[in-house]
Each structure stands twice: as C-alpha cells, then as structure tokens.
C-alpha cells in the first residue's frame, strides 16, 4: 500500500509542542503564544528568569523552540547564567532541524549561538519602525506571509510595521544565514538559518499596552534612546490592527513548520 498525506486529525491528536524560553518577567509569549494556540500547538514556558532549568538540547517530543526577549545582552552569562544553556539549545535545534523563532534577544542569542556577532548598535530603536524585505525575504515563506497582509507602502516599496525595543544588534550574521528584513537603523532585522530557524529583531508578541508597561522598567536601552514612551506607545497603538495583521500570518507560517516537524517525527517513529 502506498503512503499518502497524514490526515489533519492525526496532527491535531499528537499536539505539536513548542518550548518557549522566557528570559524576562515582562516578556512571556503573549500574542505569539495565542497565535500558535490557534493551530493547536501547545506552548510550554520555561521561566528561566525564575530559575527554571533551560535544557541544552531539544527535549524529546518538542517540535519548535521560541526564544523570547529580555533586557540582558546575548552574552551576559554572569547576569543571566542560563544563557549558556539557551545558546546550546538553539545550536542543537538548528543541528536537528527543529524550527526556531527567536524574538529580539532571542534572535541575538540564535546568531551568537551559531558564530555570529552581537554588539551595541549605533542607533537604539524603541517604538514603531518599518522594516523592508530583501530579495530573499520576499521569497521566504514566513516573511512573505507577513508581506501578503501588509498594507504599508513607503517610497514604492512594501514595508512592515514592527515594534522595537533594543540597543544591541546582530553586527555579523552566522555563516550561511540569509538576511530577510532590514532598515537603515538596524541592518539585520530578520534572518533565517537553514529552512526553519528564524530570528526577528522586533517584538511581534507585544501590543501597545505591554509596550507602555515596559516604561515602568526603564532599562539601559530606554535611557540611552531618550524616547518619550507615551508618544511612542501612541504610534504603536495607531498601528495596532496592522501589526496584528502583519505578524499573525508570519507566526502561523512558522507554526506550519512546527506542525510539519511534529508530523514527520511522529511518522518516522511509528
């Protein structure tokens, strides 16, 4: 008997799992977690900032890794000693072709884990920004999903609205990485390694309310930027619907990679 596509009910029954590494108390999975749940993906949160142990390899039964943001640097192992294990986890995920979604600090950790360089940026980005796709970005499944929903057209080029809060940036991509999104303030706004490991410098997981709440924890990035958070949050609020319309499809496109990973893993082990 020939083999055909795996029925959708089988994928639902085995519950794809994403392990989310929370590096900061103010940045849980939030919207991204909600969007993953729409496709039946179970998100299990490791609260590293509270002392939960971060595995250094992808645990059995995990089909995706979500590395979240935080105020520390990607190599601040003294202040955040779990980062060493998190970088090892991300390396193992890439090696085993387990989908990765790194957001802000998470994207910097992914780059650092694979031999890229993370440094203090010349420009600190806090608030609403616009990022533009590279040629490879236009052709990428996850970025193209965001582009298909975006309505912002600046200077004749379609660009994506993004919420930013960072002072570090990926100064040098890992060998073999593909640059997907960029802007003048920060060249590496998104990249992909292999077919399913993604780093996004922005914060698609938050909304204007969360953005404004971060002002209560005035970190070095906010102080350095001189940003008026109230004004910045107003701009974020104005683009709230478009931000969701942009990043929800991108997240769902990445979620499909997780589901594919789950299906192929379960079929090969059966």
Q: Which of 86, 125, 132, 205 is catalytic?
A: 205
Residue 186 annotated to the active site? no
Question: What DSSP line would sit under 160-207, residue for residue?
Answer: EEEEEEEEEEEEEPPTT-EEEEE-SS-S-SEEEETTTEEEESS-TT--
Contacts 24+ apart (CB under 8 A), 145-148: 145/249, 145/250, 145/252, 145/253, 146/246, 146/247, 146/249, 146/250, 148/249
User: Catalytic annotation on 166?
Assistant: no
Separation CA 85–CA 90 (nearest Å): 9
The per-residue b/e assignment along 208-244, b for 16 or more CB within 10 angstroms, e otherwise, is bebbbebbeeebebbeebebebeebbeebbebeeebe
* CA 154/CA 184 separation, integer angstroms: 13
171 with 118: CB under 8 angstroms?
Answer: yes
* 220 given a catalytic annotation: no
Q: Which listed residue (86, 104, 132, 169) is catalytic?
A: 104
Q: Give Dmax (Cα) for the chain.
A: 66
How many CA within 13 A on the CB side of residue 162? 29
Marked catalytic residue, from 132, 186, 203, 262:
203
Active site residues: 104, 203, 205
């Amino acid at each position: 008997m020939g083999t055909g596509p795996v029925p959708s009910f089988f994928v639902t029954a085995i519950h794809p799992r994403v392990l989310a590494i929370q590096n900061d108390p103010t940045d849980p999975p939030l919207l991204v977690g909600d969007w993953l749940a729409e496709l039946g993906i179970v998100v299990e949160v490791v609260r590293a900032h509270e002392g939960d142990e971060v595995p250094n390899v992808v645990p059995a039964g995990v089909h995706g890794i979500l590395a979240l943001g935080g105020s520390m640097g990607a190599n601040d192992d003294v202040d955040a000693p779990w980062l060493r294990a998190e970088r090892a986890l991300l390396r193992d995920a890439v090696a085993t072709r387990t989908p990765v979604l790194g957001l802000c600090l998470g994207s910097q950790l992914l780059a650092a884990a694979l031999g890229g360089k993370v440094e203090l940026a010349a420009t600190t980005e806090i608030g609403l920004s616009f990022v533009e796709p590279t040629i490879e970005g236009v052709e990428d499944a996850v970025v193209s999903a965001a582009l298909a929903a975006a309505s912002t057209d600046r200077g004749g080029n379609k660009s994506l609205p993004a919420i930013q809060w960072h002072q570090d940036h990926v100064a040098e991509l890992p060998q073999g990485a593909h640059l997907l999104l960029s802007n003048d303030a920060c060249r590496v706004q998104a990249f992909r390694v292999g077919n399913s490991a993604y780093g996004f410098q922005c914060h698609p997981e938050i909304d204007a309310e969360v953005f404004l709440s971060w002002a209560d924890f005035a970190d070095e990035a906010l102080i350095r930027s001189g940003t008026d958070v109230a004004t910045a949050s107003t701009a974020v609020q104005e683009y709230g619907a478009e931000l969701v319309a942009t990043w929800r499809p991108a997240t769902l496109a990445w979620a499909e990679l997780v589901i594919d990973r789950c299906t192929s893993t379960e079929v090969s082990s059966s």
